[in-house]
Structure 1
Amino acid sequence: MTTDTLVKPSFKKAGSDDFYKDLYKEVQIKVLTNKRIQNQIIFKSIFFIALYFLFYSCILVYGNSLPLLLLFYVLTGITMILVFLNAFHDAAHGAIFPRRSQNEALTWVLELFGSNSYIWKKRHLVLHHPYPNMQHWDIDVKQSDIVRIFPQSKWYHFHRYQHYYMWFLYFLYTLNWLLVRDFKDFFGVKDNYLKRIVKIPKIEYVKLFTAKILNLVIMLGIPMLVLQQPWYHVLAAFLLMHFMASAFGVTALLSTHADEHAEFPEPPADGQIDMTWAMYQIRETKDFSTESRIANVLFGGFNHHVAHHLFPTVAHTYYPSITPIIRKYAEKYNLEYRSYPLHEAIYSHFMLLKKNGSSENLFLTGEL
């Protein structure tokens, strides 16, 4: 099958006995009526955004001390990921404020970080969320030819070492996003999932370059001008910030879809998926460390990822209350719900890289 002949997938219509109807009703009655939980995400969003600006201000105020310069750059980077996971991501799903315009305004924080919120939302909401792990559609799972996540992707000799080298490259995740990935989305022609489904408005090109320049001015230019530090100290702190931010962010992103037991189905030739949308979301998504209060605070509901995929427009502060209900229905209907401690989820990703790095790959993929 070539990408030129792809038919947009559609899911099997849910019957009267579909588990999701009862699950949705129970969640609505028992969980979503608690507006106090909704207020928690508004507080978290404002708090982490304020913390980001506080730590950045500390760079300019205390950055003449090299240890403090490095410390506050790292804290700024970590807080950037906290804002992304806890505020931006929910706002992109329209899950924080009652008005769409309010959520839309908050998503502009991604431009502050040097990226493009328009293209991220197209990637995430149009390609990833409907079709997680599906080859030729899920752009969030297929990152580049450097790593072979999809078992049927082209194999290169260097892939046999990917379970080693990717752990070093993951430290470059946010730098790659800032300097490479966005440009590939806007200008790339090879296997560009986005160009199949969207025509990027011209204004977004202007916003893309403006955001990149603004971010570099804020994070590098201003500290170099204000501080009595050699330029290379500021550059080193900037790079360290991205290394640590990447390590923290990738921890959440790796642990939700791409593990050794994951299935990466090819889209059916006729586009008809013999499975309901809700069944598919449960099969292709997994949770990690759902009982951890620290994980619940830090990861913005990514650790309750099944709840997120089943209730994408619901604030992540509700997910710890929703996940036990999902478990109950999974047991009742014999569904493929999976949840692991974080360290096991990361190890399982390592095993996936090792299996898919082999030229004689025996990894079994699901056919829908």
Structure 2
Amino acid sequence: MSQVTTPKFPAVKQSLHTELKKRVQQYFDERGIAPTGNPKLFTKAIIMVIAFITVYLHLIFMTPVWYLAILECIILGGLVAAIGFNVMHDGSHGSFSHNKWLNRIAASSISMLGANHFMWNMKHNMIHHSFTNVDGVDDDIEVGILMRMAPTQKYYKLHKFQHLYFWVLYMLLYVFWIFFADYRKYFSQKIGNVPLKKMNWNDHVEFWSVKLYHAAVFIVLPIATVGWLYWMIGFIVMSFFAGFVLSIVFQLAHTVEHTEFPVADIETNKLPDEFAAHQIKTTANFATRNKLVSWLVGGLNFQIEHHLFPKISHVHYPAISEIVRNVCREYQLQYIEYPTMRKAVVAHVRFLRQMGREA
């Protein structure tokens, strides 16, 4: 595959992004609060990490009865996703705390889950957040021939069924990420068509250290304590549940029936909208009034606010969402939001059915 030239955003006189940042900053200034995490976030992070370690140790060394073990494997998979959403995600964006060392610790929790932070930072922070839903650049909508996730992607006959089989593919995300995607990026030195930034010696050491740790903790030790068969069943249950939760939360934010998939101008290589308008048109919120969903997914149901202000902790998204809504009304931009998670899933299924029709 040839390398891609990343598109540019057009320069505008009256920047929507500048106006949004001014109003949101005013919100924090008036209240005298920091845009980073607060004690509630730190407490949640501690609870989730302790719960993860406790459930893991209980499964490995206490060998509970099979039906309780299955339940604990599901819980462990949920905690893998929850730590990723709530701890690692804020930390990797530098919004977990105003202390850089705390952000580094939070971001490093991805290593505890077996993934590589260098690859995540490049794929998510640098590419996805810059070129959301841009086919050929945003790796989050590149699933290969098995799924068509953008109108500009090639159509295959099997896509007419993708709204039926996507459930199975989404469950494979965690396994694919840990055992294949990280390695493909490492050895190809590319994410899709976009070259990786140069890895230094520490990056290489960290990559292989994390992979060795994951193999020891999630494969070798469990097989040694509970046996190959029980490990295989438990690992499949845990990883499939984690994979589905991770997949569905991220897909509900961008691949639903009302989001757009902008294409850069062939001659100028510029996208049609400035950065903020681009993010608003390619992103959707869901279940923002459901406090349990917001708590579990780390505010990623406020995806519009996150894409506009990734360095603001998710604990502030409910408050600043009102500011963003008002600005969208003033600029006559659609603020895409689904009131419940169920309706967001329906919108995603409808989108997959649309993409499953031959162009």
Counterpart in the other structure of 1:162? 162
Q: Structure 1 322/35 Cα, relative in aligned 2: closer, same or farther at 3 Å?
A: closer
1:319-345 residue CA offsets vs partner (Å, 9 max, x unmatched)? 111112222222233222111021111
1:241-283 residue CA offsets vs partner (Å, 9 max, x unmatched)? 1111122222311210001222112223323334322121111
Q: Distance in 1 between matches of 2:58 and 2:220?
A: 16
Q: Distance in 2 between matches of 1:193 and 1:30?
A: 44
Q: Structure 1 62/191 Cα, relative in aligned 2: closer, same or farther at 3 Å?
A: closer
1:57-115 residue CA offsets vs partner (Å, 9 max, x unmatched)? 21124325222322222211111111000000000000112232331232222122111
Q: Distance in 2 between matches of 1:48 and 1:247?
A: 19
Q: Distance in 2 between matches of 1:35 and 1:113?
A: 27
Worse-matched range after superposition: 315-324 or 248-257: 248-257
Q: Structure 1 161/30 Cα, relative in aligned 2: closer, same or farther at 3 Å?
A: farther
User: TM-score, normalised to structure 1's length?
Assistant: 0.88
CA contact (8 A) 1:9 1:268 kept: no
**Residues 1-368 of structure 1 correspond to what in structure 2 (within 5 A)?**
4=3, 6-15=5-14, 19-30=19-30, 33=33, 38-188=38-188, 192-195=192-195, 197-201=196-200, 203-226=202-225, 229-269=226-266, 270-340=268-338, 341-359=340-358, 361=359
What amino acid is aligned across from residue 150 of structure 1 in structure 2?
A
What amino acid is aligned across from residue 218 of structure 1 in structure 2?
V
CA contact (8 A) 1:301 1:316 kept: yes
Q: Distance in 2 between matches of 1:239 and 1:16?
A: 48
Q: Structure 1 330/7 Cα, relative in aligned 2: closer, same or farther at 3 Å?
A: closer
Worse-matched range after superposition: 211-220 or 3-12: 3-12
Worse-matched range after superposition: 20-29 or 230-239: 20-29
CA contact (8 A) 1:31 1:321 kept: no
What amino acid is aligned across from residue 297 of structure 2 in structure 1?
F
Q: Distance in 2 between matches of 1:219 and 1:306?
A: 35
Deviation of 1:347 after TM superposition, in Å, equals 1.3
Q: Distance in 2 between matches of 1:200 and 1:268?
A: 32
CA contact (8 A) 1:12 1:272 kept: no
What amino acid is aligned across from residue 264 of structure 2 in structure 1?
P
Q: Distance in 1 between matches of 2:150 and 2:31?
A: 36
What amino acid is aligned across from residue 199 of structure 1 in structure 2?
K
Q: Structure 1 191/244 Cα, relative in aligned 2: closer, same or farther at 3 Å?
A: closer
Deviation of 1:36 after TM superposition, in Å, equals 9.8
Q: Distance in 1 between matches of 2:85 and 2:10?
A: 29
Q: Distance in 2 between matches of 1:233 and 1:5?
A: 45
Q: Distance in 2 between matches of 1:32 and 1:174?
A: 40
Q: Structure 1 247/219 Cα, relative in aligned 2: closer, same or farther at 3 Å?
A: same
| Structure 2 segments unaligned to the other structure (5+ residues) | none
What amino acid is aligned across from residue 267 of structure 1 in structure 2?
A
Q: Structure 1 5/296 Cα, relative in aligned 2: closer, same or farther at 3 Å?
A: closer
Q: Structure 1 32/305 Cα, relative in aligned 2: closer, same or farther at 3 Å?
A: farther
**Counterpart of 1:257 in 2: which secondary structure?**
coil
Q: Structure 1 16/91 Cα, relative in aligned 2: closer, same or farther at 3 Å?
A: closer
Q: Distance in 1 between matches of 2:325 and 2:215?
A: 45
CA contact (8 A) 1:14 1:276 kept: no
Q: Structure 1 148/200 Cα, relative in aligned 2: closer, same or farther at 3 Å?
A: farther
| Structure 1 segments unaligned to the other structure (5+ residues) | 362-368
Worse-matched range after superposition: 29-38 or 136-145: 29-38
What amino acid is aligned across from residue 136 of structure 2 in structure 1?
H
**Counterpart of 2:38 in 1: which secondary structure?**
helix
